[in-house]
């Protein structure tokens, strides 16, 4: 049987650009699979905000992320890529959590070079290149022969002015990208980098480069996030206000395709077969 990691590797090796669409729950994973996406993506901020109502600035733990990622991966046949943040604080953490991601059936993840606490009120920074290489090396050792795709996330193009720890230097991003590839990363991602900067970086890389949030030519794939969980929260807020103000919500309460998405027919058949075999009554129509 082909594993999720093998499916993801095959997608990347095909050379055809693909989009890993946002899936922040088991149901949304089934949805993106049902409409035809070949892969799905679980962002850290999407998961921390939607499921735990906390920011993704270093306080959201890998244990929580792995728990949700495993639920999503289990519900789909397409591979799931997860945001693994920094994989903890030490190489021992990186090793341990990588094995947890493998056990949860995750096809791949991205691990970043930010230093915690990140993307918050304190002035951030990136870890030393050697420390990130050690983190990647630990992850490579931990995945064994599972095929887990390790994507190194370099935040050099994520500047202080936008809440990141980078200096916005293309030259430094290239230096880091090459070092992460040497350490064993399978792919790279440079969040916030402009299309021009990304193009310059891609030309210098020896492994595939993906983008976070938008498509670009000459990149391997896109990790698409933000539109799903934020859109769902916006809709929930609007309908909650409508209910508070009017006492009702005007909407179609039927979700088209719901039975297929939750495998209703499968479980109905299982229980109907059990009922017949054990002499119990079965509802008309089953």
pLDDT value for 218: 85
The answer to whether the beta carbons of residues 153 and 191 sit under 8 Å apart is yes
How far is CA 274 from its chain centroid?
38
Q: Pick the residue with more confidence: 4 or 213?
A: 4
pLDDT value for 59: 83
Residue 179 structure tokens: 């070092």
pLDDT value for 27: 97
**Among residues 44, 32, 142, 109, which one has the least CA distance to residue 77?**
32
Is the pLDDT score of 89 beyond 80? yes
Domains, the chain, in order of start with CATH, read 4-231 (3.20.20.60), 252-286 (no CATH)
The answer to whether the beta carbons of residues 197 and 222 sit under 8 Å apart is no
Please report, rounded to a whole number, the percentage of residues in the chain having pLDDT higher than 70.
100
CA distance 178 to 194: 19
Is the pLDDT score of 278 beyond 90? yes
First to last CA, the chain: 33
**Among residues 251, 187, 238, 229, which one has the least CA distance to residue 29?**
229
pLDDT value for 118: 81
pLDDT tens across 39-80, in order? 999 999 999 999 999 988 878 899 999 999 999 999 999 999
pLDDT value for 184: 98
Annotated active-site positions, please?
A: 56
When pLDDT is averaged across residues 231-238 and rounded to a whole number, the result is: 96
pLDDT value for 11: 98
Q: For residue 63, what are the contacts with CB-CB under 8 A and spacing of at least 6? A: 100
pLDDT value for 284: 87
pLDDT tens across 122-171, in order? 777 999 999 999 999 999 999 999 999 999 999 999 988 888 899 999 99
Is the pLDDT score of 117 beyond 90? no
pLDDT tens across 178-228, in order? 999 999 999 999 999 999 999 999 999 999 999 998 888 789 999 999 999
Mean pLDDT of the chain: 95
């Amino acid at each position: 049987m082909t594993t999720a990691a093998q499916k993801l590797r095959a997608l990347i090796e095909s050379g055809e650009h693909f989009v890993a669409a946002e899936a922040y729950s088991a149901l949304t994973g089934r949805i993106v699979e049902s409409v035809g996406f070949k892969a799905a993506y679980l962002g850290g901020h999407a998961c921390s905000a939607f499921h735990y109502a906390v920011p993704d600035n270093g306080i959201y733990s890998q244990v929580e992320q792995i728990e949700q990622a495993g639920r999503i991966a289990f519900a789909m046949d397409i591979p799931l890529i997860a945001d693994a943040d920094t994989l903890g604080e030490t190489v021992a953490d990186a090793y341990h959590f990588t094995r947890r991601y493998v056990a949860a059936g995750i096809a791949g993840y991205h691990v970043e070079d930010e230093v915690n606490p990140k993307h918050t009120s304190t002035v951030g920074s990136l870890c030393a290149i050697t420390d990130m290489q050690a983190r990647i090396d630990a992850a490579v050792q931990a995945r064994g022969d599972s095929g887990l795709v390790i994507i190194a996330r370099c935040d050099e193009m994520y500047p202080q002015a936008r809440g990141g720890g980078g200096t916005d230097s293309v030259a430094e991003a290239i230096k880091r990208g090459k070092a992460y590839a040497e350490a064993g990363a399978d792919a790279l991602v440079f969040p916030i980098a402009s299309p021009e900067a990304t193009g310059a970086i891609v030309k210098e890389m020896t492994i595939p480069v993906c983008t976070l949030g938008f498509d670009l030519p000459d990149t391997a794939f896109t990790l698409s996030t933000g539109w799903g969980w934020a859109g769902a929260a916006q809709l929930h807020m609007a309908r909650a206000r409508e209910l508070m103000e009017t006492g009702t919500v005007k909407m179609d309460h039927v979700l088209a395709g719901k039975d297929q998405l939750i495998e209703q027919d499968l479980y109905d058949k299982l229980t109907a077969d059990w009922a017949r075999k054990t002499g119990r009554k079965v509802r008309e129509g089953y």
